[in-house]
């Protein structure tokens, strides 16, 4: 039997700042290939990024990490 939802749905369904359910979720792939979900709150405009860790659980990604992984690397 499954112990949890498979694929997607790992991100929080309410804002971690104001607990509003009015969230926009947008799947993105960073330049380095990392699949992330961009979460934007309509109520307080908080923005967060989440990725799936090796344990299969969603984890918040610091903006610094997102920017670093989005930067184009010189060849």
Q: Which residues bind Zn ion (CB under 5 A)?
A: 15, 17-18, 20, 41, 43-44, 46
Select 28 or 42, whichever has its Cβ closest to Zn ion: 42
Task: Point out which residues pair with 15 in neighbouring strands.
Answer: none
CB of 24 vs Zn ion, minimal distance in Å:
11
d(CA 33, CA 42): 28
Select 30 or 37, whichever has its Cβ closest to Zn ion: 37
Nearest Cα neighbor of 32 from 69, 63, 59, 66 is: 69
CB of 13 vs Zn ion, minimal distance in Å:
12
């Amino acid at each position: 039997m499954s112990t949890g939802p498979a694929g997607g749905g790992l991100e929080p369904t309410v804002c971690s700042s104001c607990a509003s359910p009015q969230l926009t979720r947008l799947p993105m792939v960073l330049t380095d290939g990392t699949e992330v979900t961009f979460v934007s709150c309509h109520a307080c405009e908080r923005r967060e990024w989440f990725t799936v860790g090796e344990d299969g659980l969603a984890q918040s990604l610091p903006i610094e990490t997102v920017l670093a992984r989005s930067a184009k690397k010189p060849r």
